[in-house]
Structure 1
């Protein structure tokens, strides 16, 4: 039996009523504004570089582990499915999902932690703000403007998808967003659209499931150890009962598949319950709520918290992961300090941008250069800078 596509929800964003772009452009004859945003993200260089940026494992550690690119694609798939089932604009949800990690530096959270240290005296670093900088400044593809000139709804969702962030505007690291918001009015004191909230929940669903999958593949823990962990444990048990004697690799994938399904079903049920309880009748009603519309149930949130605790102890703080984190942070620190002290060793186009800047301006430029690196490029760049036999 074919799936039934739900009617458009009354609180869905309408691309025909978009607030538009900061720089006005003629509309596309074949795509909605949100679909056009999605295509701009897919074609930008920052999106391509995600293919060799760390999720948990560094790119060279194996071809089967997730990268930022595969993670973003998984988030986008889940976001589109959730949005379609809820009658929301699937293009907008998918677009925000594809864009949400564009600002991540090499080496995952280790890279972010080190750039925060290095930029402490120069305005700070935040990967969400870096994503905004990619979208509005660092991508250079068009003759009339810097960045991608995305729609208001996409920019709102990229910046504000988790919760209202107006309090962050006081942070030095958020100064670029504060300036943009003052000029463009992104309404960061409210919740974002339901589509943006869908993207945020899809991120949670994707990374928790694929980190379980990657953790087992990396032998950081085994399937049997997961049986006592809330959320994933029951699905390992049910898959084992349904397919006795099944290959362990297939069993792992089946358990993860079931966990994704359970989390998706929970979001759909809870969101529909909240929509009925609050009586939201349009997109603005979603923004005016004092809580998220798209959410996990309380029971699912508790189980998810327990799973995250297990992953934190057994995966994110595993000694093998810690060694990589330590190496990555030292490499980025050494490169940052060298580039800041000797900007003439930057590539020519970056050195040209550094000329005439004060120290804080040079630090931001160095940060932009490093944040845009892939894992592999950062390793090679460090080798060239600190080992004479690697010069070319």
Structure 2
């Protein structure tokens, strides 16, 4: 791969030439377009770790994405400075690398459904086991089938950025190819015909069957390396490794801080987790002792751990740049840094003490019921109208008014294509906030009625 192509400013769906302005670059415009999108705003009411939390301090998907974006900008800019020096990329600024990473990080969770990762599991569970949903999905084939059986928030995010947000625009938000490629951590479709590809970039799918051509256009524009001539699978855009690292650093460290604020960890336990990652402990302890409250001490250590992790991830990327550019390196950066073991311990402890806490699991379990019921009832409704039109059941005609017109079909008529109908439905449900999904579920099941 070549940096001159990887940093392409061509916009998907737009014939407009890239901007020549250095005051507000194309990549900064990408960032702004994401910030002002309704899909981004909805993340303020989507679960990060603690569903439907009443504690204002606790992170949501929105605050997590902003923090990951800040880390991504720092990481990208630091790497960009060295890449420009090494390759003599005079037409680019180090800030271009940082701005691409910042925009991609900002959107990295934009496709996550309600209730966090358990929401993804709930959609998969519906497609695999639901009384009405399972036989409908079962008649599909290849990637169309796997798109639901292995529903993936990353692929949903690509749909939002390139299709669902600003749907009247070809290309949706019309972001640059560089940002879209850096956003796509898993540049592959869901079904690979039984072929087995190694590496982290092949772990999940990054786009659905309907978006295959759109991602192919992105991949060709930035010059990604295709891994199979007959399958839609590529090696990652190099900056996708930095986007992944920024997300990994953010949630590993910050979930511990949130856990402390909610009483899952004591100060001593947090310090025992953070100290092994930091050099010069004696120097840090001197500054720590000047902070009077425990909250401030944890915030200080969190900042120091993030800074150290950024430095290690940057060094790892630069050490492996040549292998990354040829597709020979395909592992998360944080799995190769000196602090790998200590950073991994943050996850294992969080799983034991936070992710599986009774109050967290209880709400996530309820999320399975909420999402499954919405999908089941709406899919039955849309099928009835698609097959019978005006002769559909009165209940179906009435229920259809609860679905936003964008997700029903042109002229509010469901598509005759089953895959398209199911795809529009998962677009609708996945885009809901936690609160809206619960509210709609209550209305549909009669648990809560308007007064």
TM surpasses 0.5:
yes
Q: Name the structure 1 match of 2:433.
A: 374
> Out of 365, 375, 392, which is 1:326 matched to?
365
Match of 1:7 in 2: none
Distance 1:228 1:250 in 2: 16
Report if the CA contact (8 A) 2:316-2:337 is conserved.
no
Taking only aligned residues, the RMSD between alpha carbons, in angstroms, comes to: 3.1
Residue in 2 that maps onto 1:138: 164
Match for 1:104 among 103, 112, 120?
112
Q: CA deviation at 1:243?
A: 3.4
Report what 2:61 is aligned to: 68
Distance (Å, rounded) in 2 between the aligned partners of 1:263 and 1:16: 25
Relative distance call for 1:263 and 1:388 in structure 2 (3 A) is closer
Whole-angstrom distance in 1 between the partners of 2:119 and 2:47: 9
- Aligned pairs for 1:233-382 (under 5 A) are 242-244=287-289, 246-275=292-321, 280=322, 286-291=324-329, 295-296=333-334, 297-343=336-382, 344=397, 345=399, 346-347=402-403, 349=405, 350-352=407-409, 353=412, 355-382=414-441
Does the 8 Å CA contact 1:18/1:153 hold for their aligned counterparts? yes
Q: How many residues were matched structurally? A: 371
Report the Cα offset of residue 331 of structure 1: 1.2
Deviation at 1:205, TM superposition (A): 0.8
Q: Cα offset for 1:56?
A: 0.5
1:355 is paired with a residue whose SS is: coil
Aligned to 2:208, the other structure's residue is in SS state helix
Corresponding residue SS for 1:257: helix
Range with bigger deviation, 338-347 or 91-100: 338-347
Matched residues in 2 for 1:311 and 1:223: separation?
A: 15
Aligned to 1:383: 442
Q: Deviations over 1:253-304 (max 9, x none)?
A: 11211211221121233333334xxxx4xxxx74314115983444322222
1:129 pairs with one of 155, 167, 173: 155
Structure-1 residue corresponding to 2:178: 153
CA 305–60 in structure 1, closer or farther in 2 if over 3 Å, else same: closer
Partner-residue secondary structure (3-state), 2:333: coil
In structure 2, the residue corresponding to 1:221 is in which secondary structure?
coil
Q: 1:354 to 1:300 in 2, by over 3 A?
A: farther
Q: Quick check: 2:256–2:346 contact (8 Å CA) kept in 1?
A: no
CA offset at residue 21 of structure 1?
2.9
Which residue matches 2:263? 219
Residue aligning to 1:23: 14
- Change in 2 beyond 3 A, CA 1:379/1:144: closer
Is the Cα contact below 8 Å between 1:53 and 1:68 reproduced in 2?
Answer: yes
- Residue 253 of structure 1 aligns to a residue in which SS? helix
Secondary structure of 2:339's partner?
Answer: helix
Q: Residues 195 and 360 (structure 1 numbering): CA distance in 2 closer, same or farther, change over 3 Å?
A: closer
Deviations 1:205-259 (A, max 9, x none): 1111110111111112222233444766869x86666434831111111121121
Q: Any idea what SS the aligned residue of 2:78 has?
A: helix
Distance (Å, rounded) in 2 between the aligned partners of 1:233 and 1:145? 46
Instruction: Could you tell me which runs of 5 or more consecutive residues in structure 1 were left unpaired when the two chains were aligned.
Output: 1-10
Shift of 1:197: 2.0
After superposition, the C-alpha distances for 1:73-106 in whole angstroms (9 at most, x for unaligned) are 1011111111222224211111111121110011
**Following the alignment from structure 2 to structure 1, what is the Cα–Cα distance between the partners of residues 245 and 71?**
9
| TM-score, normalization by structure 1 | 0.83
Shift of 1:337: 1.1
Q: Could you tell which deviates more after superposition, 308-317 or 353-362?
A: 353-362
Aligned mates of 2:362, 2:191 — CA distance in 1: 35
Deviation, 1:168, is 4.4
8 Å CA contact 1:111–1:329 kept in 2: the answer is yes
In the alignment, is the contact (CA less than 8 A) between 1:271 and 1:293 conserved in 2?
no
Question: What 5-or-longer segments of structure 2 have no aligned partner?
Answer: 82-93, 129-133, 138-144, 194-204, 228-233, 383-396
